[in-house]
Amino acid sequence: MADINFIASVVVALAVVFVAYKYFNGGPDVQSSKAGNSTPFGNSKADEDGDSRDFVALMEKNNKNVIVFYGSQTGTAEDLASKLAKELSSKYGLRTMTADPENFDFEKLDTFPESHLAVFLMASYGDGEPTDNAQDLYSFLGNSPSFSQDGETLENLNFAVFGLGNVLYEFYNKAGKDMHKYLTDLGGHSIGPYGEGDDSKGMLEEDYMAWKDEFLAALVAKWGLTEREAVYEPSISVKEIEEDAHSHDVYLGEPNLKHLQASKAQEIPKGPYNASNPMLAKITAARELFTNTDRHCIHMEFDTTGARYTTGDHLAFWFQNNEEEVQRFVKALGIANPQQPIAISVLDKTSTVRIPSPTTYETIIRHFLEINGPVSRQVLSSIAPFAPSEEVKKATQQLGSNKELFASHVAAKKFNIARLLLHLSGGQPWKNVPFSFVIETIPHLQPRYYSISSSSVQSPNTVSITAVVERQTLTGVDHELRGVATNQILALSEALVGHPSMTYRLQQPHDFTNSLSSQDIRVPVHIRHSLFKLPGKPTVPIIMVGPGTGVAPFRGFVHERASQKAAGKEVGKAMLFTGSRHANEDFLYRDEWKQFSDFLDLETAFSRDSSKKVYVQHKLKERAKDVFALLNEGAVFYVCGDAGGMSHDVHSALLEIVAQEGNLSSEDADKFVRKMRSRNKYQEDVW
């Protein structure tokens, strides 16, 4: 699920959360498989300030009257929270801050002043669960907090809620709905209607903007606010400093101090490894899995000695931007000396800067900013005042304020920010854009997650991933669309044999352990533990459904069962439903599966090998009797891959199979499948 998901302002009380190498995404913050939350650098101010878990006291101390909480997994909700806080401040002079609910206690929510406002931007994950950083808040509110004896206890609370979700998931936007219900039931007053956004069709931002307009209108009416011309006032300071750009005191892409110090000592950074301290894993092998020349799928292996994983976990890959795009961004902003060392500090006490400092302009662009994704309408509106001429400013403002014009002239052309700025200005650099604005406005890079396709029993110190390289050529778009992380993975695989076709800085920032020509190529990664797991007993049968790269974790499952069998253990029956477009071109691990034919029942679906498109759900239905028989033997049913059509179609096919083979009504089949889920017999890892 992709996030997450930009505004001129007056000096502001905004919790600027800059997460270098942040986590999660590939998209949004919304209703996807779970991934770890991301706070690699330092704690929020709130954590540093003594008894700072009391946000009401923190607001009073820092003279704030609006707090924007975010339940964020991949950064989308967090990013929207920052932008909303900026807008409320710049347009209406409100004294705003953003807050991670994980950093606060909510026992004193009933003391929240009536003159204040609390906004909640809450993403849902998986089965409608709140994000990791909002779990405690939900359990507190959901367990009838006893602020007082008499029911309605938040009568002073003015609040607004917007949920971020994905309609393709069964419990769409449950976290947003629940938050609105909890606060309303406890007597709070909603300013404007509850709103929610659907990420399934890439329209989350438009849903958010439509809700925001209604919320702002209600707030303006209730508080009698007057809108003023928004003036950008930074929450952070960016200063050029006198320092040697190659000094080992300047961060050139290291995610934290441990990494910087290790580079000084010419060492590999030590563990423990986690989301705040990724390991520099050596790439030990890589190979192409497709035989077709225009598409790529890379099997890549990493030496992860020192980090523990179990089969079914995810590998988080902390990637960087392609040099071509880094240089385009430098040109678009007219940065004269991109390697100039700079120091970053906060101007607002409630803010936190997570980009390590001192660093350089280029480092931030290369390692910290999502410069390659689609541009949001909010970013465009907020950058307009810095246009190189009045004419360009007008055109930019028009695009930012007109949904239809933006859709046809920006979104449809698939510009990234640098391409768009250069297009709008006819190639003139946007020299007036302050770099603090860039850091505060452009979303921050999120690591990409990959299902681990190896077995921890078979290879405890080597993790493999199976990544399809994202490249698209679209009619009406004058450039090839390239996914950032997967194209770096391709470049890394090519660099292993000495022929990288793209320009990525694959050597370590301070160039100490390896170089492009060396075999010792390392990248920052960490393991994210998942709940997608083989049954504890190897005898329990399993049914795995994973077309395309959805087969990745099942390769690990099958290898694990094979090594258990080789060790003399009895293993249960295993059915694998996988597929691709063509049997001879993109059937992943085609030659490997044969060696497991003694326990693996493999069914393949190739969608483009015949006039009739055949998908995994068709194969499932063809094998209805066997599938149902295995379910009755206690099999666990797994689905991995596309969260869109595939997982829905597989779910519908399973309902049909259960109804038909079990002779059940559709209601009873639904109950049967729900029971499977509640007993962990139906597990999904979809994205």
Is 685 part of the annotated catalytic residue set? yes
What's the Cα-to-Cα distance from 376 to each of 77, 173, 211, 581, rounded to whole Å?
14, 22, 16, 33
Q: Which of 211, 430, 593, 687 is catalytic?
A: 687
Active site (annotated) includes residue 687 = yes
User: In whole angstroms, how close is the CB of 32 to ligand FAD at the nearest point?
Assistant: 5
CA distances from 232 to 8, 33, 89, 221, 406 (A): 4, 37, 10, 25, 23
Task: Look up 9 and say whether it is catalytic.
Answer: no
Give the integer Cα–Cα distance in Å for 320 and 328: 15
The residues, any chain, with a CB within 8 Å of residue 662's CB and separated by 6 or more, are 628, 668, 669, 672
- β-bridge mates for residue 544, sequence order: 576, 638
Determine the length of the chain.
687
Q: Which of 9, 178, 580, 640 is catalytic?
A: 640
Q: Are strands 195-198 and 481-482 parallel, antiparallel or unpaired?
A: unpaired
Smaller CB separation from ligand FAD, 67 or 485:
485
Q: Which is nearer to ligand FAD, 436 or 486 (CB)?
A: 486
For the chain, how far is it from start to end, CA to CA, in angstroms?
5
Interface with ligand FAD (CB under 6 A): 26, 32-33, 314, 372-374, 414, 416, 448-451, 466-468, 470, 472, 481-486, 549, 552, 687
Q: Which residue has the tokens 């779910």?
A: 651
Known catalytic residue: 297? no
Element (H, E) at 47: helix 45-48
Q: Annotated catalytic residue: which of 451, 453, 454, 580?
A: 451
Per residue in 467-504, is it b (16+ CB within 10 Å) or e — as a string?
A: bbbeeeeeeeeeeeebbbbbbbbbbbbbbbeeebeeeb
Question: Which residue in the shown chain puts its C-beta closest to ligand FAD?
Answer: 483
Is residue 166 within 8 Å of residue 32, measured between CB atoms? yes
Contact at 8 Å (CB) between 619 and 627? no
Token duo for residue 379: 């970013």
Task: State how far the alpha carbon of 537 is from the alpha carbons of 552, 576, 636, 676, in Å.
Answer: 21, 18, 11, 17
Q: Which is closer to ligand FAD, CB of 71 or CB of 553?
A: 553
Beta strands at 636-641 and 682-686: parallel, antiparallel or unpaired? parallel
* Separation CA 30–CA 217 (nearest Å): 26
Beta-carbon contacts of 460 under 8 Å, excluding residues fewer than 6 positions away, are 308, 309
The CB-of-77 to ligand FAD minimum distance in angstroms stands at: 16
CB of 675 to ligand FAD, least distance (A): 25
Tell me which residue of 380, 319, 323, 357 sits closest to 241, measured CA to CA.
Answer: 357
Q: Where are the alpha helices (DSSP H) in 277-342?
A: 323-333
Q: Which is nearer to ligand FAD, 170 or 214 (CB)?
A: 170
Closer residue to ligand FAD, CB minimum distance, 322 or 513: 322
Name which of 274 and 660 has its Cβ closer to ligand FAD: 274
CA–CA separation, 55 and 31 (whole Å): 27
Q: Which residues are catalytic?
A: 451, 640, 685, 687
